[in-house]
Every structure is written in structure tokens, then in C-alpha cells.
């Protein structure tokens, strides 16, 4: 009993709960500061293929184009990149590849990019026994999930 009376009269005993409360408050402030600097969650990108032009042929709206003859072809693809609210995404990196060809471009303030496969010897090759070639599109932008479509553009061969 003598010990408990001494504990009640001891003024240092109150410091322990106050220290715990102070540490808890400081910890919560530090956690709030840490959460404030974490970037926003990422969004999905939407990509529209406006048109495709193969060699010197006419431009075809959409993502499908006719190729005449089995040879190397220069391919020009126009795309537009949007966020989830249909606002254009600027400075998104767009890459198109397939059939031995490779091209890349960056979107402008309107969200549009023109990807050319055929510069510096990277033309799309279609062989005589090949009916079609599918081109892969990858679009990357800060704050967004990467967009990837293995069959974004279809080039099909005709004998015309």
C-alpha cells in the first residue's frame, strides 16, 4: 500500500501519458505530410487513329489501309490522344512498330501526333505470301497508365 500512495503523489507519473500523446500527434502530422507529397493516381489514356496513309496512295480514315504489292512501304499514321475527360494530352510519346518498320512522335497541344514508318530505312515490309500486317501502338504520358494495342493498325495486301 505504501507504494501506491507514493505513485499517486509522484508528479513525474503524469509525463508518460503526455509523452505518448505528443508522439502520436507528431506521428500523425508526419503521416499527413507524407500523404500530401504522394502524386495523384494515374488515369487511362484514350487513343483514336484518325487516318493511315501507305506509300503515295490515298489516305484511309480509321485504322485499316490497303497495300498494293509485296514490297517495302512508307506508312504515315495520324493519332489523337485524350484523357478520361476527352481533353487532349500534350507531350505523350507514341510509338508504332511492326512489319520491320518503326516510327515515333510526340503529341502537340491538341493531342495529335503523326507517326511515320519509313524514315531512315524503317519501312514496313510486306512479303508476297503475306495477306496482312498488324502494327503495334504504344502511347506513354506522365500521370497516365501506358496505352498498348498489339493490333492498332491493319495493313492488308491486294493484287490490284
> pLDDT tens digits, residue range 15-47?
667 788 889 999 999 999 988 888 777 889 999
CA 76/CA 55 separation, integer angstroms: 8
Provide the domain count of the chain: 2
Whether residues 21 and 94 fall in one domain: no
Average pLDDT over residues 101-122: 89
Threshold 0.85, pTM exceeds: no
- Predicted confidence band at 68 (pLDDT cuts at 50, 70, 90)? confident
> pLDDT tens digits, residue range 128-152?
888 999 999 999 999 899 999 999 9
Most confident of 4-18, 54-68, 84-98, 107-121: 84-98
CA 99/CA 74 separation, integer angstroms: 11
Domain that holds residue 23: 2-37
- Write the burial class of residue 94 (CB in 10 Å: 0-12 exposed, 13-18 middle, 19+ buried): buried
CA 17/CA 26 separation, integer angstroms: 14
Whether residues 21 and 97 fall in one domain: no
Amino acid at each position: 500500500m505504501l507504494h501506491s500512495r507514493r505513485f499517486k503523489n509522484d508528479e513525474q507519473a503524469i509525463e508518460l501519458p503526455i509523452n505518448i500523446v505528443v508522439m502520436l500527434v507528431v506521428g500523425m502530422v508526419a503521416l499527413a505530410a507524407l500523404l500530401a507529397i504522394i502524386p495523384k493516381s494515374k488515369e487511362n489514356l484514350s487513343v483514336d487513329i484518325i487516318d493511315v496513309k501507305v506509300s503515295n496512295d490515298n489516305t484511309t480514315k480509321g485504322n485499316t489501309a490497303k497495300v498494293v504489292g509485296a514490297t517495302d512501304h512508307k506508312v504515315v499514321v495520324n493519332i489523337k490522344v485524350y484523357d478520361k475527360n476527352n481533353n487532349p494530352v500534350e507531350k505523350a510519346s507514341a510509338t508504332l512498330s511492326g512489319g520491320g518498320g518503326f516510327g515515333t512522335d510526340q503529341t502537340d497541344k491538341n493531342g495529335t501526333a503523326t507517326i511515320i514508318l519509313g524514315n531512315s530505312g524503317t519501312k514496313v515490309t510486306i512479303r508476297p505470301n503475306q495477306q496482312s500486317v498488324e502494327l503495334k501502338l504504344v502511347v506513354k504520358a506522365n500521370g497516365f497508365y501506358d496505352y498498348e494495342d498489339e493490333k492498332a493498325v491493319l495493313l492488308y495486301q491486294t493484287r490490284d
